[in-house]
Amino acid sequence: MTLPEFFGCTFIAFGPPFALFIFTIGHDPVRIIILIAAAFFWLLSLLLSSLLWFAVIPLRDVLAFGVIFSVIFQECFRYIIYRILRSTEQGLHAVAEDTRVTDNKHILAYVSGLGFGIISGMFALVNVLADMSGPGTMGLKGGSEFFFITSAAQALSIILLHTFWSVIFFNAFDTNNYLHIGYVVGSHLFVSLLTLLNAEALYIATLLPNYIVTVLTGVLAFKVAGGTSRSFRKFITCQ
């Protein structure tokens, strides 16, 4: 059962993001470059948070400390890539085959957010996937049998959230909407700190709020991008 479990959890976490990549990004080289660049900036935030955790020896055992500063560094680098993309829009417009990537500012936010999310989900789940490939991983180290499926679901949640957060975050700085900036940072902190409950196997207490926040953030990102109930109905009915 270990191999089916491995593929099942992999498809849960990365199936929807892979579909988004194939249908919305893979056809445009500029979007692929932006996605890779965003993933690189997320890695830089991970490096800095790791260096801070390593330097502050007394707080190494305090997971909440590491989580908080990890979120802060991620949001700082989200802002950095926002500034870079906004300052290079003219150059992107000149080289892009599909000018929608610069004409519609939300596309840049979406692509960079998906890059943030995919690399974040990979780092959160790759070690778990390696352990679940077998043999004998059910109830890893005597833990709950729901650990793997929960980890996969949370990885999917954080990938989607990063995508939504970037759309909201970029638009918030474009329009000086500090309430939305605060929502992005606050909800990121909330979701990240909530995962600390996984150590107590309180999976329902982490997954349920995580997906409530994911849905609410998705709705907000949809509205920020100009979506309406009418356009949503047209999307559902493929009109």
pLDDT tens-digit series, residues 102-161: 667 888 899 999 999 999 999 988 887 777 666 655 545 556 677 888 889 999 999 999
Question: Which sequence spans correspond to the domains of the chain?
Answer: 2-236
- Do residues 201 and 144 touch, judged by C-beta distance below 8 A? yes
Mean pLDDT of 64-89: 91
d(CA 90, CA 209): 40
**Predicted pLDDT of residue 145:** 73
pLDDT, mean of residues 28-46: 92
pTM to 2 decimal places: 0.89
Instruction: State the pLDDT at residue 136.
Output: 58
The arithmetic mean of pLDDT across residues 28-43, rounded, is 92
